[in-house]
Chain A
Amino acid sequence: MSSPRPLIHLSGVKKVFYTDEVETHALSGIHLDINKGEYVSIAGPSGCGKSTLLSILGLLDTPSDGEYVLNETAVENLSLSDRARIRNREVGFIFQSFNLIGDLTVYENVELPLTYRGLSSSDRKRRVTDALERVGMAHRAGHFPSQLSGGQQQRVAVARAVSGQPSILLADEPTGNLDSSNGEAVIELLRELHRGGATICMVTHDPRYAQQADRIVHLFDGLIVEEEAGSNRREIKEAKREVKETNAGGVG
């Protein structure tokens, strides 16, 4: 059920950093399409360009070369303001270090992206409550981040990322600062969101978590070296086959 045009289309995307006369080729020509509803994980050794790729996907950074079409809009050469607007509507970020704002309550943190959109406060309230309920943190709305455990904080961060109903969720090692049980809980949360129709692109070191995705993109030295189907895809495929088989069996 893939849409005719991919949600994200990268072609020949390069990123070069210039620091003190040293050129770092973080990305050296990335071709990548992500379809609506797809769950993609990006894997690769440290320094291979995963975070750089995610930043470009999230419009935090601009490619040095190549084209990027997000939701049928070319976004390489937009103004700061336009990029901020698209980032706000189309992208939800989940960071390794949670990045909640310590002075704001859980509720206010989740509300934050909505405030940059000019929604009415009742609208915002509905969406924030929705998002918090989805991650199971509604009862902590009035707390401050410092009063929460790491796992709870990351769940709030997920709620913040989804509250604006973005086209794509970008997660950079969302489990990196969590112990394994909390990490698994967050991965489970992402999988639930994916089942609900969310498009997700997640960077992770952990092969077990990478396997959760439909597709695993392996990055090495700024290039995509391999793409494989994740266990999720295989599971679905297997499930479909099972359905077919039972159907066939049923019929046959």
Chain B
Amino acid sequence: MRSFWQDIRYGLKVMRKNPGFIAIAVFALALGVGANTAIFSVVNAILLHPINYGNPDQLMMVWEKSAKRGFGQIPTSLPNFVDLRTDNKSLEDLGAFADSNFNLTGGDQPERVIGVRVTASLLSLVGIKPLRGRLFLSGEDQPQATRVLILSHHLWQRSFGANPNIVGQNVALNGDSYTVVGIMPSDFKFPPSFSATVASSQYAMPNADLWVPLTTDAVPTARDIRTLFMIGRLKPGVTPAAAQSEMNVIASRLQKEYPATDADMQVDVIPLRQQITGDIHLALIVLFGAVGCVLLIACANVANLLLAKASGRQKEVAIRTALGATRRRIIRQLLTEGMLLGLAGGVLGSLLAIVVLRQLVIFSPANVSIPDNIGIDWQVLAFTLLLSLFTSFIFGLAPALQASKLDLNETLKEGGRGNSGGSKQNRLRSLLVITEVALALVLLIASGLMIKSFLRLQNVNPGFNPENLITLEIQLPQNKYSDKNRQAVFQQQLVQRIAQVPGVQSAGTVDNLPFSGNESNVGLTIEGQPPLNAAERPRAFLRNVSPNYFESMGIPLRKGRTFADTDNGNAPGAAIVNETAARRLWPNEEPLGKRFKRGKADSQYPWVTVVGVVGAVSHTSLEVASQPEVYLPFQQNPELNLTLVARTRSDPKAFAGAVRREVSALDKDLPVSNIKFMDEIIGKSVAQPRVYALLLGIFAGLALILASIGIYGVMSYSVTQRTHEIGIRMALGARPRDVLKLIIKQGMVLGIAGIIIGLIVSFALTRVLASQLYGVSSTDPGTFAAISLLLMFVAVIACYIPALRATKVDPMIAVRYE
């Protein structure tokens, strides 16, 4: 025990004697341990732990799909759901849900909330108990049952002051009275967060504020209107594959039974976990890779420094051996030193992790919800800590291993001859540095591509002008506005009132605002073209707008006219199509004056005439190329759903009050809290690529710093080692710049070797990123070249300081050296 303290004391002395070396090694370790732990903890919390349901591996998402129409995952219709639920034997239960927006009154003030309708047993199916009250009872999803709802924890806190007595009380949803029967715990999230490509547009699950039973009168009952998502729980012992093949049988039966609507229907059973990680899976792998790279570089750095130190300590070890220290004793001493180093780096790294994590929470983009109760992931910290300790141990041992191989005679002989050299020992160190540079290059290129892609994405023209646009989503309550006429009047008055607000340039309404996530996709019948069945009909996205919508949004008119006030209930049906729809529906023909209708030729919808063609708009995301869109005048198709858009002459934020006042003046029961600004909505839509680019950028920056420390360390050590040789060269007439060139060239050989290897690896690996990139090839030559140059430049800088030191070598040492 005493000798242990001796070892520690001696180790501390060694560390004190080499402050520069220790600082660099500890810094590298701390960066590797700290930053990685912090960022990884966040990634872990956001992306890896979303399922906290009971036995989540038994939970399956069940989708319809249509290979014929090229739709991968689509919701189902109520009748299809009922058939799938009753006919299957693989699932304990199958539940359906659909999200829907509600006006909530009865809380602090009227507000717009996101509700999810769920079949009565669905919440118990996912296996989470309520915080207060109860879940839904069977039968509560019958149309005649008393209306009940369950509050989410955050809505309970936000709008009901966390009042525990709210259970049992009544609140109003869309004007109807509901009894609160339960409150869910704060970490309960249903639906789970995943996104799916529904009919070629991206659909992200909302964060629900409350749940109500899915009653058959609240959702469309037609077999071909597909609005329901399904989650089921496998019976014990049943595999997903078995469930899938049973569903296939049911699907083919439904195909035969209902050829008009289900002719091409198929069913897909996907484990919920896979569904959730599906689209973040790749991002995760890339981030894992990045974390691993940074950690490897940090370890390589420490290894390098310890190896460098080791050759410097050969003599010391030899002397201690000569003085009678056993090999075991020396190894223990060196291990103690490695441990001290590892501990110092680890402690500093943990502190760094805590600080970085706090900063990440504070500075996270508003639209990325980093949970504020996020903590250090201790498993990750333990892992990185162990790895760095392990590295320090292994490479701390190097001098002992070298010493055991040391041939004293040989050393003396070499020394006696007074020649410079001994490059064999440097080979491992050079290899480590080359690896560091190569890894850093791969990370830098990956993040360079992501950043470039993100910038491209940001510069995509969405087809309208998102600046100075204020929006408010309004849901007219059914009980008060059931009359179509009232809906039309409300819309007209709303637009008139808002347009008169000073500073508002133009105001309009639309049912599905771009980037709102709301979308309706309809099949069309074109006049003069042969009738097609549902699966073969051309499809377009439908928007229901006011005359000034295009002007307000800044959507350019290409041909014909926009809607006028005269396009009302008394006038013939009018329609405006976008360029994409015009091209697809009437290729090489003049679209103006053409007629079409929703659904089949004899559907209840009226024929409408194309009066104008407008530019295409990015509706779901900037990445998705423009889709065919058709616009109908709201006055001819009034509905309960509308979103106000107003173009203001100055900062739209200043108009929130005025908009609220005007809407409340029209109807004081309408919630007005949900005002959004178009530029922010678009900003949110690129939040994920931004965070992704940001994280990769941070990792790449770390890698760059660590790699340059690595180059610096090795070159610095090499200069020390080559001092005598440099002295000889100077004695032979090398000028300072010859020496500078010598050292920088040596560093550049390492740098360039690393860059070449890194480029090869990047070419192979960045393909993985291809699906995450927008408008940038995964082997974009510009990025590859720029990043290589950047790394080369950093390498030169890292070599420059040691090289400068080399020029200061006193050539006298050539004479004095014995």
Binding site for B on A (CB under 8 A): 51, 54-55, 58, 60-61, 80-81, 84-85, 87-89, 91, 93, 95-103, 112-113, 116-117, 145-146, 150, 153, 160, 164, 172, 177
Contacts and interface: CB of A to CB of B under 8 A. Distances in A.
A59 B416 CA distance: 26
A222 B78 CA distance: 110
A89 to B, nearest CB: 7
B166 to A, nearest CB: 82
Contact of A60 (B423, B814, B818): B814
A103 B738 CA distance: 17
A116 B731 contact: no
Contacts of B724: 99
B527 interface: no
Given A97-B418, A103-B423, A116 B812 contact: no
B317 interface: no
Interface string B691-734: 00000000000000000000000000000000011001111111
A85 B733 contact: yes
19 contacts: A60-B731, A60-B811, A60-B814, A60-B815, A84-B733, A89-B733, A93-B732, A95-B814, A95-B815, A97-B418, A97-B818, A99-B420, A101-B725, A101-B729, A103-B421, A145-B421, A153-B419, A164-B733, A177-B418
Contacts of B419: 98-102, 145-146, 153
B682 to A, nearest CB: 60
Given A101-B725, A177-B418, A60 B732 contact: no
Contact of A101 (B421, B811, B818): B421
B818 A84 contact: no
Interface in B252-302: none
Given A102-B420, A146-B419, A58 B731 contact: yes
B817 interface: yes
A93 B812 contact: no
Given A84-B735, A88-B734, A98-B417, 15 more contacts: A51-B816, A84-B738, A85-B733, A93-B732, A97-B817, A97-B818, A98-B419, A101-B729, A103-B420, A113-B732, A145-B417, A145-B421, A146-B419, A153-B417, A153-B419
B731 A87 contact: yes
B737 A99 contact: no
A95 B732 contact: no
B737 A88 contact: no
A87 B730 CA distance: 9
A93 B816 contact: no
Given A51-B816, A93-B814, A116 B417 contact: no
Given A112-B729, A117-B733, A160-B732, A177 B416 contact: yes
Interface in B419-463: 419-423
Interface string B777-818: 000000000000000000000000000000000011011111
- By Cβ-Cβ distance, the 5 closest A-B pairs, closest first, are A88-B733, A102-B421, A97-B418, A102-B419, A84-B735
B414 A99 contact: no
A163 to B, nearest CB: 10
Nearest to A58: B731
Contacts of A60: 730-731, 811-812, 814-815
Nearest to B734: A116
Given A55-B815, A93-B814, A101-B728, A80 B420 contact: no
A54 B421 CA distance: 26
Nearest to A102: B421
Contacts of A99: 418-420, 724, 728, 731, 814, 817
Nearest to A153: B417
Contacts of A91: 733
Contact of A113 (B417, B733, B811): B733
A58 B814 CA distance: 12
B736 interface: yes
A55 B418 contact: no
A103 B721 CA distance: 13
A80 B418 CA distance: 26
B815 A51 contact: yes
Contacts of A100: 419
A55 B417 CA distance: 21
A54 B812 CA distance: 10
A81 B735 CA distance: 5
Nearest to B736: A80
Contacts of B814: 60, 93, 95, 99
A54 B730 contact: no
A58 B735 CA distance: 15
B817 to A, nearest CB: 6
Contacts of A93: 731-732, 814
A193 B567 CA distance: 112
Given A60-B812, A60-B815, A95 B738 contact: no
B818 A102 contact: no
Contacts of A88: 732-734
Contacts of A80: 735-736
Contacts of B730: 60, 84
B427 to A, nearest CB: 12
B721 to A, nearest CB: 11
A145 B414 CA distance: 10
A54 B730 CA distance: 15
B815 A172 contact: yes
Greatest chain A CB density within 10 A among B420, B728, B732 is at B732
Contacts of B734: 84, 88, 116
Nearest to B813: A60
Nearest to B807: A80
Contacts of A85: 733, 735
Contacts of B422: 102
Given A102-B421, A146-B414, A146-B419, A116 B732 contact: yes
Nearest to B811: A60
A77 to B, nearest CB: 17
A46 to B, nearest CB: 13
Contacts of A95: 418, 814-815
- Residue picked from B418, B734, B737, most chain A C-beta under 10 Å: B418
A146 B417 contact: yes
Contacts of B418: 95-99, 177
Contacts of A145: 417, 419, 421
Contacts of B817: 97, 99
B145 to A, nearest CB: 89
B417 A61 contact: no
Contacts of A89: 733
Contacts of B816: 51
Contact of B417 (A58, A97, A160, A164): A97
A61 B812 contact: yes
Interface string B529-570: 000000000000000000000000000000000000000000
A97 B414 CA distance: 11
A209 B738 CA distance: 36
Most buried by A among B414, B422, B738, B814: B814
A112 B725 CA distance: 12
A6 B713 CA distance: 49
A99 B813 CA distance: 11
By CB atoms of chain A within 10 A, which of B731, B733, B812, B817 has the most? B733
A87 B734 CA distance: 9
A91 B815 CA distance: 14
Contacts of A146: 414, 417, 419, 421
B805 to A, nearest CB: 15
Nearest to A172: B815
